[in-house]
Structure 1
Amino acid sequence: MKNYGLNELREMYLSFFESKGHLRKKSFPLVPQNDNSLLLINAGMAPLKPYFTGQEVPPKTRMTTCQKCIRTGDIENIGKTARHGTFFEMLGNFSFGDYFKEEAISWAWEFVTKVLELPEDRLYVSVYEEDQPTAEIWHEKMGVPRDHIVFMGKEDNFWEVGVTGPCGPCSEIYFDRGPEFGCDSPTCAVGCDCDRYLEFWNLVFTQFDRQEDGTYLPLPKPNIDTGMGLERLAAMMQGVTSIFDVDTVKAIRDHVCELAGVEYGQSQKTDMSIRVITDHIRSATFMASDGVLPSNEGRGYVMRRLIRRAVRHGKLLGIEGLFLKELVKTVVDNSKHEYTELEDKFDYIVKLLTVEEENFNKTIEQGLNILTTYIEELEAKGEKVLDGVACFKLYDTYGFPIDLTREILEEKGLAIDEEAFKDEMEKQKQRGRDARGETNYMGSDETVFHKLDTNLSTQFVGYHTLEVESTIDALTTETEIIEEAKEGMDVYIVSKATPFYAESGGQAGDVGTITTATGTVEVTNTTKAVGGKFVHHGKVVVGTVKQGETATFKVNSVVRLDSARNHSATHLLQKALREVVGGHVEQAGSNVTKDRLRFDYTHFEALSAEQIERVEAIVNEKILSALDITTMETSIDEARKMGAMALFGEKYGEVVRVVDMGHYSVELCGGTHLINTAQIGTFKIVSESGVASGVRRIEAVTGRGAIHYYQEIEKELNEVAKLVKAKKDGITKKVEHLMAESKELQKENDKLKAEMAKAEAENIFDQVQEIAGLKVLVAALPNMDMNALRNMGDTFKDKLGEGVVVLASSQDEKVSLVAMATNDAVSAGIHCGNIIKASAPVVQGGGGGRPNMAQAGGKDASKMNEALQTATDIIKEQLKNN
């Protein structure tokens, strides 16, 4: 057998199927498009579902891809074996109603025996037990001996997803790696769990449509869907035992070993950590390159777990400092030839993973502090087991690894309530399943537009004209296809040609009118539907319109121009941000309307006032420079050479549209733009804020919107001038004078309050009582916030010497409760956290804390005395039980 590198094998496969008339496509992004059933792409066919279901017409009936995939399953088990990983590449060739079994099998056999030159006597195939025709193709046409054909049941050799939809039998190809990989069992054969017979290619024959009643109807046009794991194939061809020994993966593994100063294969525990880091850094790097951001939900949560698990195992290996950034380069160097986005987004990926690693290091410290509090509470109560809810909160909310919790507890002679923790984990998984919800085969809800002819698609002609004649090729309501719509009806219109831009890339859809000889529709929005259809949303405002009528489609030019101003400004804004903030800035989302622009971008801290001012100045400079805006269509490779920026998660075709603003900003974009930056007029940032971890948002206005903004500001300024009785040019000085006066008055007020509180405190100290030999002060104080109440509590506690203090107060309809205890009081059985936990609900509040100090807020001031009585009762109970 020849030893081929992983990158060589990918190219060999794709080139082979290109030679068989397949359209070779780049991998789709890991983030699914219009598919609610998946968090991340997990198979080669997943992005191609619309073609298999007939909802969209494929660019060619034969396609081949190498798709990047992530399967998370049970992340906690990754690394425990050398077999499993989260990231992998899947080779596939697909037929959408073109060829079927004989061609798929023939080409698979040709590839493995002629291209890979695998010895035929070591190849086996499995076939679905009821699929005799497939077995005959293997034997009669390919010459596979009958003793090398294995029949298996539905569980192994029949592919279906869910209860309805396309499905069919499959046939798998196995390679006998030799007895040295086997289990020495006399019954060892294809299907055995050992590593001898390696299944490496699955050919799925999608020929049935399963009905709700469980019956299988033949599909009019059967499909072919094959899948072969590239890492598994490489491991087989390179004669190694696992994916972690494959050349490109081994390079990462070796780098991990170098950073840790350890050798792979010397220790089971060390090897596990090496595998975890190797696998997870691959996944995290690829996810980052497709725009996934670490967060506490969805695919972002998956990414955060992978990064934190990698960092945790780095610590176990003794790696000091930030190390993920070192490994990113190795991942990129080994995969950038095929996945150019890795190199394009390198700076961003490094920045993102480094920030997340830094944040997790801080989280570890925070988690340790919280765990220390839990341990103190356990020891105070004389208990040995930490409840599962607390463990899960540490794990889920604070990202504190459960194995670290377990390890620290064991050092103290304590343990985790493992069953309760597992219950909480299962609840979380169920919440995730519920969040995705039940979906159909496509993973997106069926709409009326799925009922339209799949051959109907729309040609957009609105780059160069705002008016065109076309026909109303489809007319629908929200739920059904109709022939005619009368005045007052809400309708949806699809045509073969339109000048209306459909909402996409963050730009709002066009508005305008559709006019026929018999009626007029006012278009309020334009969107894209399945199969490349542009849908005009509107209402019939005059007469009637009918399906099949010729109509004039006319875009509102004023609204289009305002939207274009804001869209062109976002391009200038992104470039300016990269200049001012750094090359890691990437667009994370945008929303462009006629009124304003909203631009989300990747960055990890708020912009300073100076940075905002610089960004704004750069954009306005480019507007005043009157840069020509040109567009051109070219190949993706040529666009890359021009330095054109691409958006995260976008799947670009072979031909792309480049928008060039005077060679200053060059981006891939399908939106509508101006012809010169001067048309923007002016640009003003109105807000900058955070919207998610690692994502900031700028909102801005241009043109007419900016004029309106300045007018409103001036109106506000005039109102303030009237209120402070000053001229506009003297407002600042007048306000400063008023603030200084207010500050002096506040000081005098605080002084009077302090004197009154001191006098009140002398009286309240008379309320000290003795319970079981311990001094106890439980009292209500007037008009104090939490900070003042804590200070008063410290004063009383110091004055008591030994004892417990519980205070309550209300201010601005908010109740504050504080409990404090000296060390002797805690030794006597007092636990302030439990006192507050019991008394806070009385005032409709909640809180807690440590044995020596706790606090809470509440809403019902009328129940303060009742809450204090509850606190007294709890104190008596604690001292009695002790």
Structure 2
Amino acid sequence: MKYMTAKQIRETWLNYFKERGHQIEPSASLIPVNDPTLLWINAGVAPLKKYFDGTETPRSKRITNLQKSIRTNDIDNVGKTARHHTFFEMMGNFSIGDYFKEEAIGFGYEILTDAKYFGMPKEKLYITYYPDDLVAKETWVKLGIHPTHLIPLETNFWEIGAGPSGPCTEIYFDRGEGYDLRGPELIANDIENERYIEIWNIVFSQYNADPKLPRSSYKELPNKNIDTGAGLERFACVLQGTKTNFETDLHYPVIQKTEILSGVTYEGQMAFKVISDHIKTLTFAISDGATLSNEGRGYVLRRILRRAIKYGRSIQLMEPFLYKLVDDVVLMMKSFYPDLESKKEIVKKIIYKEEVKFFATISDGEKHLIQSIKDHKLDGKEAFKLYDTYGFPIELTMEYAEENQITVDKDGFYQELEIQKTRSRDARKVNQSMKSQDESFLQFTEKSLFVGYETLQVEAKVIKIFEQGIVLDQTPFYATMGGQVSDKGTINGLVVQDVVKLPNGQFLHVMETDSFEEMDDVLAIVDETHRRQVEKNHTATHLLHQAIKDVLGKHANQQGSFNGPKKLTFDINHYESIQVKDIIKIESIVNAYIQKACDVVTHVLPIDEAKKLGANMLFGEKYGDIVRVVDIQSWSLEFCGGTHVKNTKDIEHFMITSVESIGSGLYRFEGITGELSVSSMEIHQQVMQSIHLFKDKIHQLDQMIQLPAEPKLSSSYQDIINLRQYQMELSQLFKQLEKDKEQQIIQEILRKADEWIPKTIQKETIIAVNDLPQDSLKPLVDVLYDKIKTETVILFNLNSSRVSYFVKTNQQNAREQIKNLNQLFDGNGGGKPDFAQGGTQNITKVSDYLKGNKII
């Protein structure tokens, strides 16, 4: 069985079925269209109901797809099990009145077991089937599945809401006894386990399910159909050999970024899994037009976001962090879902706004929750007050209660909630929901012209006012897009907080709207300092991109970028470590083109002509028939709608500040330009602080020591290498001095060992000391044992917060003695038969013990 990336799995699936006459159906939006029975698209078949129930005729009777899906009924299991998610991708193949049972099973067996495709050993496959469906059973046996691997289940009848339904056959992959010693009875008895992973369900669709009718009364579909669902995440887990879905390339990059943000190492903790799953759900749902609210799918998203924050706080993420993961989700998924790239900024904005709001209230809510608990019970009115006043969801209250064995009066909570709903129903009608606002964006089609390439100041007219801001008939403000941040500035003296591109191309100026009316004449002024620094970084990014290709190879394509006023970031794909010499060479090439004073020229031309020029295109980005190409001496050619300097000399200087791996085969360059790069002190500040700290510590240990000279700085990436090397030298010097000092202290303690030998020596001699260094205690026990020459020496070291104790004996029972002491003092520890050690924070119990033995 070969290792396959998620990308390879997707391609293998779609290509296999395409070769067998299936039409590839693009993934539908997560928000169902004209289907009130579903809150979300929750399976591959869901958007195809119209074909299965005969209301529409498909272009092809054979369809394959890879459908993004959301299910939240198992949200409490996300992170607890290896495979549960709220967002997942469902691979499917479908037949509408074409092939049926035998051919569908044949396809399944071939793609799973044939080495040309997934190459899974057939011995690892276990199959369930509906007991009355003997055709399915016999087909599996004919193909080579051993009868002992076939399990009849009464539950193998598939339906989810209204729509197609019928008997099904499920395919499980056996991951072996390392996950569970029990066998197929785990499947037969539906026992939760991590050994047998259900990877595929093939439904033999014969009926149109109606929740209002008993199953026996379901109507036959016009034709017998096949629909299937195979979880991409589960396939990835099996084919990549990971313990859970979360270590696959569909989640691990987000987990790695969460490690960086939290400073906590991922060791399988539930918090990382919940965050990775939930940010994918939020990113995709919001990209598809869902919003956060207090009802329906908006409430589901709000609960998901707040649940992710709750788990984030458990790993020390105490300020907004989810929005920082959106880039990583987009980077990880945009090759198959290119629309994510164009929507990520508004997604980040929505998530950030919601995070800020929730973080502002959650601390107060938790304090109030703790204060409201009486006798391990929480009154329903108090629970509602947490929800209504502090914005603390009942789900978080219930989770806290479960973790701390608290009883919550849920009935009382929901009674209060219903009273509040009745009281506020009329008030809610007045407020526009975010969804209606989204619809307003879509319906707004009046043209607005961007003039910011030519001017930074313009007289304009307000043509539309939204709740979030205003749209002008023409604007010099560039919106956040293409990796470039929006312009700053003012309109009639009022600050523009952000600029966002609307669905129909107009730019929305996010700002206070009370001072404006439609058709007002206004003066729009862009902050020139901000714009010019962003332009320096954006043009430097183009130079960096081409320099990277020149040094690392043409395969090193852009995977994401950020161009702000203070820094730029540029993500590439590259499949081996990037050497320091290559980074320095890349930086040198960029600065060479800056020093050449090259004109930066833009061409507006048909896309086919632009392609002939060899201009770099961002994979997955949608381009129109007419495109804009930024040209720097025909060396750097890129499709780009952003703003740039007129000549590379305007950049002044470029400095790479870091290069780091952000995922498998992905690297991120960060850099600065202009005056920031020339001074570069802000970049060096953190390292310099560490250097000065080490110097102070070294001089505290040895005032006369001669320190190595500091490196000279030249405003380049080499500075960072030299400073880190210098920092390492000081660190090693400090550690050696500290070690020497500790050895001096230990030797001094050992020379004084006789002071701690009691006058009366017994077979079991107990000695107590105070505040000795931890490293000195083991050698001290050895010396005391040799000097006293008794059966057993027990040494206690007491300080203000903890007691350590050691046992050395020739009776081969040191572990048992430590175990007894641990029980006496509520401590922990262990060791070998002749030497063992333990410790406790229960200083009182130790003191009483020593007094009882007349040691103190």
TM-score, structure 2 normalization: 0.50
TM-score, structure 1 normalization: 0.48
Which of the pair has the greater relative contact order for Cα pairs under 8 Å at 6+ separation? Answer: 1
